[in-house]
Every structure is written in C-alpha cells, then in structure tokens.
Amino acid sequence: MVYTQIIFFIIYPVICYFFLAKFLYKQEFKKLKTIKDQYNDLEIRHRKQLSDEYLEFRKKLTTEYGQFQKELRLQLNDLNKDISSKNQEYLKDIEKKINQYLLQMNDKISKEIKELPAKIKIKRVL
C-alpha cells in the first residue's frame, strides 16, 4: 500500500508533469515555427517589394536619362546650327571685306601701272 501511495503521489504526478511539459513544448515550438514562417514570408515580400521598387526606380531613371540625352542632343544640334550659321555669316562678311580690299589693291595697282610709263618718261627726260 505504501508503494501504491508513493507511485500515486510521487511518480504519477512527475510522469503527468513530464507529458504536460512535452505537450506545452510542442505547442510553443509550433507557435515559434509559425511565427518564423510568417517572418520569412514577410521578409520575402519585403525584399520583393524593394526589388520591384528598385526596378521601377531604375526604369524611371533610365527613361529620364534618355529624355535628358535627347533634349541635350537637340539643344546641342540647335547650338551647332546657330554657330554654323554665324560662322557662315562671318565668313561671308570676311569674304566681302577681302574682296573689297583686293579690288582696292587691284585699282591701286592698275593706277600705278597706268602711271608707270609716265613716270618712266619723266625719268628718261631728266
């Protein structure tokens, strides 16, 4: 009878506590596992969202950079046209001045050539 009391009051509660602890441990482990899975899912979604945002930002940046390059090329093309037209005008202006100078020099030389025989005669006479 003492053995039955020892078994009933000491060993049985220990066994019950052991099974209860094992059951509670399994329950907590399941909760931790579900929390870990939820955290992993959130982390995966967050990384995917960041990846999507990065790709969207990169696409937007390349688009804006492409538009900037187009605008810059147009502005440079307009600038080159303006410079080219101004250069053409300047060259025409210089060409006119050179032609005028050459005409003046030609007139001066032709006058001197016409006067040359008279100068030569004057020198012969002297």
63-104 residue pLDDT tens: 999 999 999 999 999 999 999 999 999 999 999 999 999 999
Which stretches within the chain are classed as H helix? Answer: 2-6, 12-125
Q: Domain limits of the chain?
A: 1-92
The reported pLDDT for the residue numbered 74 is 95
* DSSP-derived 3-state class of residue 51: helix
Token pair of 24 as six digits: 């509670």
What digits encode the pLDDT tens for the residues 29-67? Answer: 999 999 999 999 999 999 999 999 999 999 999 999 999
The H-or-E segment that residue 11 falls in is none
